[in-house]
Structure formats: C-alpha cells, structure tokens
Structure 1
Amino acid sequence: MLGKLWPILIGVAVVMAALVAMRPLLPIDETRYLSVAWEMWLSGDPVHLTKNGEMYTHKTPLLFVLINLVWLVTGVSEFAARLVGPACAVGMVAGTAMLARRLWPAENLGIRAALILAGFPVFLIYGSATMFDALLALGVLGGIAALWSIGQGRGGWPLFGLALAFGVYAKGPVILVHLMPVLLTMPYWAPNPPKTAQIAKGFGGALLIALALIALWLVPTLLTATPEFRTELLWTQSAARVAGGMAHDRPFWFLATLLPLLLFPWGWSIRLWYGFKGTWSDPAIKLCTIWAGSTLILFSLISGKQAHYLLPAYPAMALLFAHASIRAKSGSLAWVALLLIAAGAGAVGLGLIPAKADLAPLAPYWPLTAFAALCLILALLIWRLPSIPGHLLAGIGLTLGIHAIIATTGLYAAYDGQALATTLAADEAEGLAVTNAEYNAEINFLARLTTNVALTPDLPSLTAWAQTHPNGMIFGRIKENPLTAAPQQVFHFMAQDWGLWPATSLGSTP
C-alpha cells in the first residue's frame, strides 16, 4: 500500500504548499504563533513561552519547537515555518490510510480513505495553516490505533500513553476530549474488549507513562516560572475555555449548523450515506462513529469552539465514507452547492449584484467570474465522474479556487502585514508602541523585532511612554484612536486602516 500511497502524499503536499503560497500569514492566529516561535528562537528557551515578552500559556510547546528545528536547517524563514503544519496534515493522510488497513485488513480501503480525507476543503484549509490541530490529530490517530489493538485483545497501552503525551505536547489536555469517549465505550465497539478492571489498570499505566513524559517539560517549566505563569498554565486558561470567558465563545448549536460546510463535498452524497446501511454492527464502524460523533458533541458543549477544533475527527469521517463508498453508487448533490456558489460569485463578478462596502477587498471582481466558471466545471465533474475522483477534484479545485481569489484580489493585501512590519522594523531602535488595539504580536515576527512593543491602550499610558521614547514610533488602528493628529503613514491591515505617528505627535494632541 505504501508504494501506491506515496503519489497521493506528494500530491497533497504540493496542494498544501500552493495554498500556503497563495495567502499571507494570517492574523491573528498564524502571526501570533510565528511570533511565539520567533521569541523562542531569540531566547533559546523552549519551555517558557512568551508573546511580545509576556507569558504565553494558551498553548504547549511542540509546534514552536518544531518550527525552531526547521529554522536550524533553513535559517529563519516564514515559508519554511509555515510548512510545518502542512507536513503534519500530510502525516494525517498517511496515518488515516494505515489505520484503514488495520481496521479492515481484507478490504484494501487505505487509498480510498486517503483520497477522501484529501478531498475535504476544510481539511485542506486548516491543515495548511500554522495551527495545532493537524499536529494534535497525529496523536489522536496514534491513540485510536492503540485502542483498536487493545480492543482486539492484543494490548497497546504503552502506545496509548505515548499518544496522550504527544497530544498534550501538541495542544494540551484537549486530546482527552478526542480519545476518552472511545476508551470509555470500548466494551460496546471492541471485537474482544478487556474486562473493566483490565481497562482501568491499563489506562492507569498509560496515564503514568503520559504523565512521566509530560513532566519532562512541565516540571522544569513550573519550577522556574512565576506564580502567575503557573496559575495561568495549570488552571485559568483551560477552565475559561470550558466555562466561557475567552475568545470563541459560541452557542452549543454552532458546529452543528456548519455540518453542510464541514462535510462538503462527501457529505452531500445521499447515496454515500446509503452505503452505511447494514454496516452498523461492524466494530470499526462503531469506533469511527463514536470518535466522530463524540468530538462534535463534546466541542458543542464546551463554550469556546472553532470549526478547526474538529480537524482531528476528520480521519474518522474519511474512514467511514471510505467504507461506505464500497457499496454506494455514484451520485451526489454537491453539484447543487457548486452551482449556487457559481451563481453568487458570478453575479458579483459580472456586476449583476452591486458590490457593497464590505466586499471592497474583493476588487478587482473579475477573479470571481473565473471562480464561478471553475465551480461550473467542478459541478460537471461531480455529475459525470465516479464518486471518488469527482468529489476529490471538486474539493481540491474549490479550495484552490478560493485561494486564487485571495491571491488575485485585494484580500491578500488587506490581511498582509508585511508592509507595516517593514516600516516599523526601521524604527525599532527608538522604541515602538501600539495603541487602540488588542495586540497579539501580529508584527513581531514579520518585522523580526528583538524588543517588545509597548502596550499603551489610552492617552495617559501613551504620554508616559512618549516621554521616555521621544524619537519612538506609535502605531494602531486609526478608528477611535486617542491620537488626534493625522498619521504620518497609513497602512491597510486586518481589513482596517492602521496609522503610524511619531512620538512627537502627542504635542499635537489636545
């Protein structure tokens, strides 16, 4: 199977690299994470993460360490750093194929599962991003493989412990959300489940292995950290994600309403869903259903939620659809969705629908017309080709088409902070301050800053900073800014106008 899988992995890698090349480093997530990695590079400290010089406890260190390892080979490079996440996504495709072979050794579903996973636009978009979910998914895949082995009576608790530790290093204890429901329901889905006492004993041993490995990072981190850092790392940020109060608080039904988008294009095939008929007694189908369903339910119940949090469950859906595709006939309604997209994009591109102010970054609008034509072609491919190649081409084509719009319209410039960063880098020596903005170190890496940006949210703090940095530079959003003087320069970043003011501008401020 590996020989047949390599062309798929290479193809996915090429698509991922193209997606990275066609969009800027996106604020605020990608810019923030590369800035944290950059500060790790400057400090040489792989355990105490910082963001603009302040403690950063929202994520664990593995992604940042991997980026720094890449930089040891390539030198500090934005593009090289941005390939770490996509490399993990390619690993997801390989891991899904290998897991399919273990779940159904007689049915040769590995290639199908890999192609189906690669055809989800949501997987391609978030898998190509500098984020933690694809890295976490590798730990989840390892944990599921271990549980399947345990459920067949062959053991695998040490591997499960390694998977737990890897997941914590990748994104924290959230790996338990993905794996514990599958573990707790083992008596229901497993072909040869251990007894309850054996499961408890095995899990206890796996947990000890995980804790021992995590302690290699956590203990020295806590012993050398401030009390505030320890409290934030161990409790505050995790509790807030569950109970609310942090970013991304959304109602419980948020993810469910996104399912038509999240499962496109495969989930739009009614006949593919019919392929599950008569398969629900299959232990592997039960496992994958619990894996995918529990992830959706639990993240719906957690206050802080984002669509990309579900990325580690995408292999489960790819495996389910791969198994169903054996029995399903060709046919899909995904072409309907593509026609609707084509109609909307074409109407704006041809001027049939006037472009409102919020669509201004899409100018010039001719790429929308080209995108509409692409969607028509993809709709035809889904209608005429067999299910696997038709849906695969539609998913990849739609994703590339969306990114082509980003690359050829004002969207790229609207979210690209490089021009602002280059200008600020020249003034770093005299001091930089940001005002009227919740600053997430969006500029630190782009400008390769070696000193922190001062946070001055109001006029008194800004005045105090200017007195000690008379030749410094202030930047921030122009809207509702405490500075009344006209900015020296204006940049469009994060779809807003940002201004630059010399510290002496405070003399022009009432």
Structure 2
Amino acid sequence: MGGWWLFVPLLAWAAFRGWWAPDEPRYAQIARECWDRGEWLVLHICGDIYPDKPPLVYWIAGVFGRFSDWSEFAMRIPSLLATLGSVLLAQRMARRLFGEAAARWVVPLYLGTAMLLEIGGRLQLDPILSFFTFLAAERLTAATEPSGSRAAVSGLALGLGALSKGPVAWLHGGFALVAARLALPKGQRTGIRGLHWVFIVLLAIAPALLWAIFASLSEPILADHLFFGQHLGRLSEKAPHEGPPWQHLLEMPVLLLPTTPLVILALWRAWRTRSDGEPASRNLRFLALWFAFTFLVFSIMPPKRPLYLLPIYPVAALLAAQELSLRWQQGAWRRWIVRVPAGLLLFLGVAVGLALIGARIPAVLEKAPKLDQVLPYGLAGAALSLTLIVFSWLAWRRSDSPRGMDHLVQALGLTFLAAGFFVAPVLDEIKSARSLALEIAALPQKPEAIPVRGVQPEGYRYYGRVPTVRSGDLIEALNRDGDQFLALVETRQYQTLSPEVQERTVELLRGRVGSREVIVLGAKP
C-alpha cells in the first residue's frame, strides 16, 4: 500500500479520544466560542479576548464542529487533511527532485515517523501551518512551471499560513527560499519574474494584515498586542516554553525514528557533495540547507516545543527517501541503518512487557508502586509490547535491505494503531475533562462564573457548558454567587488558598484530569 495505510493510526487516534491538554481543549473552545458569540474577527476563550494567534484554524475547525454537533473527530479533520496534503506534496516534490524511487519511499518515511503518528491527527495549528508553508516552498522551487501561477499559489499559501499561526509562516518560507537560492548554480535564478515577487509578498502579508487591522478596529486593545506584543514585545519578555539551545538536538532524533539514521546520512552526503554540480546533488543540498537553517534558528530561539519543527518533517522525509534509494541502487546499504532504530524499539517493547509482568508480582509492586498505573492497560499493553518486539525483530533480521525499514515503519505504525484502539479510550478517562465536566454540570449550583486555580478551564467549559473562567479570584466569586458558588482547584494549590476561602468552602467533587487532581469547591451551607 506504499505507506498510505499509516493514515489508519492517525484516524484511530483522532476518533477514539477526547480533548487532551494542553492545546486541544483550548483550541476547541476558541473555535466553539466563535459560533456561540457570533464573533469571527475577535477570538475569545472562556469569555476573555484571545489575542495570541490568528483565526484561520479556529474558523475551519469551528465549521467542522458546528455541523457535527461538536464532534472531536470532525474538528480534527482539518489537521488530517493538512497532513494528507503535506505527504502528497512531499511525494510530488520527491518525484521532481529525485525520481520515482524516492517518491515511493517518501510516504512511509513521512507518515511512519513517531512525530507524525503522534501529532498528525490532533487539533493543532502546526499541521495546517506545515501544509501551507510546504506548499509555498514546493511551488517556489518548481522552476520549470509558469512563473505567474507559482507566484500566486506560493504567495497565497504563505498568506494562509500566516493567518493560521502568524509571521512564523514567513520565516519557514524564507528558509526554503534562501536554501533554494544558495543551491542554484552561480548566475541561475529561481525562474520567478521580478513583478511576481511583489505579488508573492503582497499575498503573503495581506490575509493576516487585513485580519489584524479589522480585529483591532473592532477591539482597539488588540492593536498593541497584534502589531507589537506578539513580535518585538516577545524579545523583552520571558518567552513561553523556554528551553536550552540543545533541546531540539535531543528530542528530534527520537521523534524522527525510524528515519533518523537516514536523515543524518543524507545531511552528511549533502556536505560531502557540496561542490558537485549534478542536479540530484544540488537538490539534496537545497533540502539539507532548508533543514539546517530551520533547525539552527529554532534551536537559537528561546521557545522550544517539538511541534514547532513540524514544517521540516516533510523535508526530513525527502532527505531520508533519497538516501535510502541511493544507497540501495549503489549497493552501499548498511545493516546498522535499520538495526540502530530496531534495537531501540525492541528495547522499548521488552520494557513495556516487563512492566506489565512486574505490575502483577506483589514483591515487584512493593518496590515500584507506580507500576500499578499500567494495570488498566494489561491487554492493550501486551498487544503493544508484542507488536514492537515482533516487527523490530523482523527488521533486525532483514536489515540487509530496505525491507528492514518497512518492518520498522510497521512496528511504529501498528503500535500506534493498537494504542489508538485500545489505550486511548482507557487513557481518555484520565486525560479528558469530559467526565468531571459532566459531573459539575449536573450539580444544582448554577454560578455566574466558576474561577479556577492551577486548572485549565477550557475543557470543562467545552464538555459541561459550565461557565469556567480563567480568573482565580475565589473571594470575589464567593461574594457574588453566594450559595451558588463553585470553583475548581488543583489539590496542590488548595493549601495556598487564603484561610477565609478554606473556611467558607467545602469539597463537592474530586477527580483526576491528566496529571492534576482537581477539587470542586462549593460554598459551605
């Protein structure tokens, strides 16, 4: 099936679980409030203005949600379609740059990575950003096609990318363009005429700029944030999700599995052949430079999350596909290309199996009490362990050919598929706020607003239609709502509440959502 079956695990993960923090409940609630409030220019979250991101993803997800009775799966369809679009673009680009052999391999080497299997079907901004920026780069570098159509599509794609997540779309497009220009022979141009560059810039800027202008006119307090705070302002403030410069260097090799060795070898080949004038070598240099520029700049920038690098995963797949096809054609295949990731996955499979066995042995459980957390996943965990062990072992045995890479992709893909069917529904009882939200909705108290402490309010508002807010002022809520008062407090935050709040409240409910144990407080009679 050429790797297309790997879409099934993405569908399973999208279908069999609710919204999981930190991002999905927030994005789903923003999309829903567009319809609830009838406001499309100014976004809101739990009643507050949301100034952090542009609206395109929320608009699209909201349309899918509105006409599906707010189904989680339906609202994830835009991300699934964007992932599908990215892999189709990668296949077309591989065929143009390297030929049919690389085009056949790029599908499993893209969809089969740990990162894509984990993130490709989630309600996130990044899959859609990745699709639009990759479309822009693919069109910009299609030098044999008409300049006008390339300029129109690439400019509009960058514009829609910016309307999805902001100016970071222009950054990704700029990396691809600079890399393409550096990889061209001396004196050769990209094939886009001068006036068409003006169209590209205008189309790239116009969607996000027009939205920001009209949103600021509608809600003037947004102007400073949209035109300054989100960009230059962040240079003088503490960045969210800060991490050390080496964080991506530690994380990305794991998330690129099982293609990590191939990507590293392709980057090394691009360096070794940096003076080679052959088209295939220039194309490889273009991809390597694109990957390297993006990786380096995002490593220097303070904010660090693995999904920030999602737009270069198609580039990594192209590098891996070309390296695999070249090595097989040239008789330069090496067993370790398969055996290194196979050994890691085999170790993981054995570790999962041992954890399941240990959880059922009292003496082991006494020394490692946290193992009891795996007991609800007994059969599912056994299926995951067996899948990893069997297919990693097959990959090890057949590591003398690309067939071993096929088995590695199968190991990860089938593991994620089994997890989607059997682990996600069980884990959803803990990770999703649905159950506790419905319990809160069933309480007789109907306050004007429900403040929270140490708790994300969006999931409760989405599932229970209860008025959770991001404010943590419990005294104000007690005085306002009286015997109708409700509040959500994370257990570790409870001891930090003032003596007055503790004296005036009583625990009504308690539940676990993700890693947080949440107390629902009411007013004492």
In the superposition, the TM-score normalised over structure 2's length comes to: 0.84
1:85 to 68, 79, 84: 79
1:358-377: per-residue Cα shift (whole Å, max 9, x none)? 55543336344443222211
The one-letter amino acid of 1:95's match is L
Sort the Cα spacing of 1:403 and 1:71 in 2 relative to 1 into closer, same or farther, 3 A. Answer: closer
Is the deviation greater in 311-320 or in 42-51? 42-51
- 1:383 matched residue in structure 2: 396
Aligned equivalents of 1:421, 1:357: Cα separation in 2: 29
In angstroms, what is the RMSD of aligned CA positions? Answer: 3.1
Given the alignment of the two structures, is residue 453 of structure 1 paired with residue 468 of structure 2, yes or no?
A: yes
Given the alignment of the two structures, is residue 474 of structure 1 paired with residue 468 of structure 2, yes or no?
A: no
Aligned equivalents of 2:7, 2:313: Cα separation in 1: 17
1:75-123: per-residue Cα shift (whole Å, max 9, x none)? 332221123212211221112112222223x445322111210110111
Aligned equivalents of 1:196, 1:98: Cα separation in 2: 18
Aligned equivalents of 1:433, 1:383: Cα separation in 2: 55
- 1:418 matched residue in structure 2: 434
Sort the Cα spacing of 1:139 and 1:488 in 2 relative to 1 into closer, same or farther, 3 A. Answer: same
Sort the Cα spacing of 1:421 and 1:177 in 2 relative to 1 into closer, same or farther, 3 A. Answer: same
1:431 to 448, 464, 483: 448
**Conserved in 2, the CA contact under 8 Å of 1:137 and 1:311?**
yes
The one-letter amino acid of 2:77's match is L
2:374 to 342, 345, 362: 362
- 1:371 matched residue in structure 2: 384
Sort the Cα spacing of 1:169 and 1:276 in 2 relative to 1 into closer, same or farther, 3 A. Answer: same
Sort the Cα spacing of 1:107 and 1:497 in 2 relative to 1 into closer, same or farther, 3 A. Answer: closer
- Give unmatched runs, 5+ long, in structure 1: none
**Conserved in 1, the CA contact under 8 Å of 2:350 and 2:389?**
no
**Conserved in 2, the CA contact under 8 Å of 1:117 and 1:315?**
yes
- Give unmatched runs, 5+ long, in structure 2: 328-332
**Conserved in 2, the CA contact under 8 Å of 1:13 and 1:87?**
no
1:119 to 108, 112, 115: 112
- 1:257 matched residue in structure 2: 250
1:208-247: per-residue Cα shift (whole Å, max 9, x none)? 22223334423221211122x2212222233465665243
- Aligned ranges 1:45-194 → 2 under 5 Å: 45-104=39-98, 106-150=99-143, 154=147, 156-190=150-184
Sort the Cα spacing of 1:299 and 1:499 in 2 relative to 1 into closer, same or farther, 3 A. Answer: same
The one-letter amino acid of 1:346's match is G
Sort the Cα spacing of 1:169 and 1:89 in 2 relative to 1 into closer, same or farther, 3 A. Answer: same
- 2:330 matched residue in structure 1: none
- 1:15 matched residue in structure 2: 9
Sort the Cα spacing of 1:289 and 1:153 in 2 relative to 1 into closer, same or farther, 3 A. Answer: farther
Sort the Cα spacing of 1:128 and 1:240 in 2 relative to 1 into closer, same or farther, 3 A. Answer: farther
Sort the Cα spacing of 1:478 and 1:275 in 2 relative to 1 into closer, same or farther, 3 A. Answer: closer
* Higher-helix-fraction structure: 2
1:310-342: per-residue Cα shift (whole Å, max 9, x none)? 111011011111111112226311111012212
Sort the Cα spacing of 1:477 and 1:187 in 2 relative to 1 into closer, same or farther, 3 A. Answer: closer
**Conserved in 2, the CA contact under 8 Å of 1:161 and 1:207?**
yes
SS at match of 1:297: helix
1:412-468: per-residue Cα shift (whole Å, max 9, x none)? 32212111111223357433412322535232212234xx4244525533433334x
SS at match of 2:231: helix
How far does residue 495 in structure 1 lie from its aligned partner after superposition?
2.1
Sort the Cα spacing of 1:239 and 1:395 in 2 relative to 1 into closer, same or farther, 3 A. Answer: farther
The one-letter amino acid of 2:183's match is W
Sort the Cα spacing of 1:28 and 1:196 in 2 relative to 1 into closer, same or farther, 3 A. Answer: closer
SS at match of 2:70: coil
Sort the Cα spacing of 1:268 and 1:398 in 2 relative to 1 into closer, same or farther, 3 A. Answer: farther
Given the alignment of the two structures, is residue 230 of structure 1 paired with residue 217 of structure 2, yes or no?
A: no
The one-letter amino acid of 2:307's match is H
- 1:247 matched residue in structure 2: 240
SS at match of 1:169: helix
Is the deviation greater in 476-485 or in 117-126? 476-485
Sort the Cα spacing of 1:147 and 1:402 in 2 relative to 1 into closer, same or farther, 3 A. Answer: same
- 2:516 matched residue in structure 1: 496
Aligned equivalents of 1:271, 1:153: Cα separation in 2: 34
Sort the Cα spacing of 1:65 and 1:480 in 2 relative to 1 into closer, same or farther, 3 A. Answer: closer
The one-letter amino acid of 1:442's match is G
**Conserved in 1, the CA contact under 8 Å of 2:486 and 2:520?**
yes
The percentage of counterpart residues that share the same residue type is: 21
Aligned equivalents of 1:140, 1:115: Cα separation in 2: 21
**Conserved in 1, the CA contact under 8 Å of 2:262 and 2:320?**
no
Q: How many residues align?
A: 492
**Conserved in 1, the CA contact under 8 Å of 2:248 and 2:299?**
yes
SS at match of 2:460: coil
**Conserved in 2, the CA contact under 8 Å of 1:12 and 1:90?**
no
Given the alignment of the two structures, is residue 345 of structure 1 paired with residue 339 of structure 2, yes or no?
A: no
Aligned equivalents of 1:198, 1:19: Cα separation in 2: 41
Aligned equivalents of 2:267, 2:183: Cα separation in 1: 21
